[in-house]
Chain A
Amino acid sequence: MKARHKRLGFLLVGLVVLGAASWLVFNALGNNLSYFFSPTEVAENKVPADHVFRLGGLVQPGSVERGEQLTVHFDVTDNAHTVRVAYTGILPDLFKEGQGVIAQGRMGSDGVFVADEVLAKHDENYMSPEVADALEKGHQKGIENMAKENKPL
């Protein structure tokens, strides 16, 4: 065995050990590295009580209520559970109904999540307004067609 084969062996074994070690570390850390909790995790009481945490999900369409001054109420949903959120302040430009958001704050005793920071989460879709429009129309049409097909039943 030549010296360079030995070195290559050391290097490969080292990389495998390193990979295994980091896999174990990240497995142990698990969800602690997540940036936010989902409404389902809130419903299952997996979130820290009496502690600041982040809540992420979609803004439920039709749930946004603008109150006095700058206080806004809205529901954050993951389509399984919803959490009511109250926030006083300026919302980011991308904030709207159906949009992903991440709110930081704590659970109030009344079950309303009181946020002191709201960030908009962008999705991975990039398209022109015309395409988005066409997609939306196609979606509506699809729903109408389905409704028509279901009528005789």
Chain B
Amino acid sequence: MKELIKRLVETYGPAGNEETIRNLIMEEVKPYVDEIHVDALGNLITVKRGGGKKLMLAAHMDEIGVMVTSIDDNGFLRFYGVGGISPFSLIGNRCYFANGTVGVFGIERLDAMKDLTMNKMFIDIGVDSKEEALKKVNIGDVAAIKREFCDLGKRLVSKAMDDRIACAILIEALKQVENQAYDIYAVFTSQEEVGLRGARVAAYGISPDLGIAIDVTRTGDTPKSATMAVSLGKGPTVKVRDSSVLCTPAVRRHMEEVAKANDIPYQLEVLEAGGTDAGAIQLTKSGIPAGVMSIPCRYIHTASEMVDYDDVQLGVRFLVKLMETEYQG
């Protein structure tokens, strides 16, 4: 599975530019699902028929990135963030565009580092003129952060663990599931990082009976971190709430029961800031029961997002069991 994770996290796919990552996932899941289609917002919607209620599983395939907004005469690119990206996290980092062009983030001279904002930064793609730059990139092009996958043994680090780790878990679960209790709509959603947009329209189109999002969540287990009772290596979480959703109590109970019945360790998650696709799914039409399984992840929205491999494998087992256990609601 590590090989799959490596390929997923290293593939390009900022919000609104999910074509490459979508094609990769499509090839990966094709043998295990019955139907595949892509909707108007670029969601990859797969269906694995099993009869029964409709279960929508959502893992977002987009990642944060930066968009080029202007190019100066010397070929330097100015940019804005796509999704919640801090300028401080870009210092010393590199980015890459869909065509492979690599750039380095640079900073104007500042009196104090706390004054750093994105419009005081630029991208250097190694050219001397606007003309040369335009051969490689154009205004409106979007770059992802460049950082390779790193296997630390117990822990895995890369850019885009948020939320490709969930894509990997969902793909793996689709491979492993045997006695599914639902028609499973496994959706690899688009544009989560810019406002849960893909999940919202996908849920409208599908009208599921139950929706479960799979995402990453923050932890409270690093030195002087914010208070949060979630740690790496203690299992996937069952979300209680975040800024976008108060998970449907019956879904949360169902998830906890499934975990307990299968001896899967889990943690309860109260995330004070941040949202997930479940927030959009729950408010679709006249309301859809919704829950979230999260993988604890340190350093979210940086180039080095870290997850625990045991949590990931437990996540797969948990998701398979959720696919196999009917929700009584």
Say if A and B assemble together: no
A residues in contact (CB < 8 Å) with B: none
B residues in contact (CB < 8 Å) with A: none
